[in-house]
Structure 1
Amino acid sequence: MAEMIAVAFDNPTQADEVLDELRRLQQEYLIDLEDAVVVVRRPDGEIKLKQSVNLVGMGAASGGLWGGLWGSLVGLLFLNPLAGFAVGTMVGAGSGALSGKITDYGINDDFIRSIAQTLQPNNSAIFVLVRKVQPDKVLEQLSRFKGRVLRSSLSPEQEARLQQALSGGAAAAGTA
């Protein structure tokens, strides 16, 4: 089961830096992220979401492949597989991009926006769904970032350890 964690930062770029660090840790197999979203509240109060997974691009690519395959098969029936491939690819990519645009993957966008309303202007936050983690090693790396836990599905002890690490303290013994 994945754990959801939302952490706020006092500047607009800090959440992006944390996401970069989490991606680096993921490459070292210290954390397994299911989803991550960076939220920035601009000085004018507008909220901007940055999804870590490009659903439109993914949908267009997979739709284009499926459309090309089915278009070729239909084109074979009419003795023109090349035209069927071209038309199928275009239709598949368009419908895949549309489905990617309306699909909500991972953390619910409405939930993210409701929590993001509590951010001060010119601040940022990161929302992550974590499948697996090596807590001691990850907390050690995240301790250089100063933030505050907004919400989490962690146990109270795990959340306290995370908050302590984000406050600049050493991670307490135990597991997160």
Structure 2
Amino acid sequence: MTTFSVWKFDEPGGAEHAASLLESAEADRLVKIVDHAVLSWPPGADKPETHHKHDDPKRGAAWGALWGILTGALFAVPLVGAAAGVAIGALAKATDGTGITKDDLTRIRTEVVPGTSALFLVTDEGNLDRLGERLRGTDKTLLTTNFTEAERATLMETFGGT
């Protein structure tokens, strides 16, 4: 099953550290990484920095578009007021049919704040419980959305190719 997951860490370098563990987790067959991105938000910074890791070089630009849309719309507007609601609503419409819900987007937007980081993953054949064990010792929160086959097809068609 394809899974979109966001692991939120309580320190700006936590997601980068977790990303460094992905290669060995994939070699141990805990997950098959389709693509991932690391978002880091240092304390005092106006907005977070996102680094797309290009797991699939042939489709890197397409996956980069997903991460750009997610992080740009979620974090480029103020957290309060109507602007945040409009941005999340527009983003929910852009991800309609992919299995990424408005509630997921709202939770990401409210939990990823200055001083934290997040690891965004799209995986196949993953055992997220065992991956979480691999990440033990870090302050993390897991948000996942398991895709139906139709949602996976929509996500892959929209951002990852066929």
| Residue equivalent to 2:50 | 49
Q: Does the Cα contact within 8 Å between 1:13 and 1:124 map onto a contact in 2?
A: yes
Count of residues in Structure 1 that have an aligned counterpart in Structure 2? 111
Query: What does the per-residue CA deviation read over 1:82-104, in whole Å, with 9 as the maximum and x for residues that have no partner?
Result: xxxxxxxxxxxxxxxxx97xx33
Q: For CA contacts below 8 A with separation 6 or more, give which structure has more relative contact order.
A: 2
1:7-46 aligned at under 5 Å gives the runs: 7-42=7-42, 43-46=44-47
Structure 2 gap segments, 5+ residues each: 75-104, 148-162
Q: Which ranges in structure 1 are unaligned for 5 or more consecutive residues?
A: 60-98, 156-176
Q: What is the Cα deviation at residue 136 of structure 1?
A: 4.9
Indicate the residue corresponding to 1:148 in structure 2: 141
> After superposition, what is the alpha-carbon deviation per residue over 1:120-162, rounded to whole angstroms, capped at 9, x for unaligned?
212111100110124553332123222113x42149xxxxxxx
Cα deviation 1:4-36 (Å, max 9, x = unaligned): 001211111100111111221112222111011
TM-score (norm 1): 0.53
The SS at the match of 2:124 is strand
Q: Helix, strand or coil: the match of 2:45?
A: coil
Alpha-carbon separation, structure 1, partners of 2:35 and 2:47: 23
113, 124, 134: which one aligns with 1:131: 124
Give deviations 1:36-60, integer Å, cap 9, x for gaps.
Answer: 10001232222211111188xx57x
**In 2, Cα distance between the equivalents of 1:15 and 1:127?**
9
Q: Percent identity?
A: 17
CA distance in 2, matches of 1:133, 1:54: 16
TM-score, length of structure 2 as denominator length: 0.57
CA distance in structure 2 between the partners assigned to 1:34 and 1:126 by the alignment: 13
Alignment of 1:1-176 (within 5 A): 1-42=1-42, 43-53=44-54, 58=57, 103-105=61-63, 108=66, 109-113=68-72, 114=74, 117-118=109-110, 119-149=112-142, 151-154=143-146
Amino acid at match of 1:21: L
Inter-partner Cα distance in structure 2 for 1:54 and 1:35: 5
Distance in structure 2 (CA, Å) of the matches to 1:6 and 1:136: 13
2 CA distance for matches of 1:124 and 1:36?
13
**Could you give the per-residue CA deviations for residues 95-115 of structure 1, whole angstroms, max 9, x where no partner exists?**
xxxx97xx3327712123315
Give the whole-Å Cα distance in 1 for the aligned partners of 2:134 and 2:7: 15
Q: Distance in 2 between matches of 1:34 and 1:46?
A: 26
Task: Report the 3-state secondary structure (helix = DSSP H, G, I; strand = E; otherwise coil) of the residue aligned with 1:29.
Answer: coil
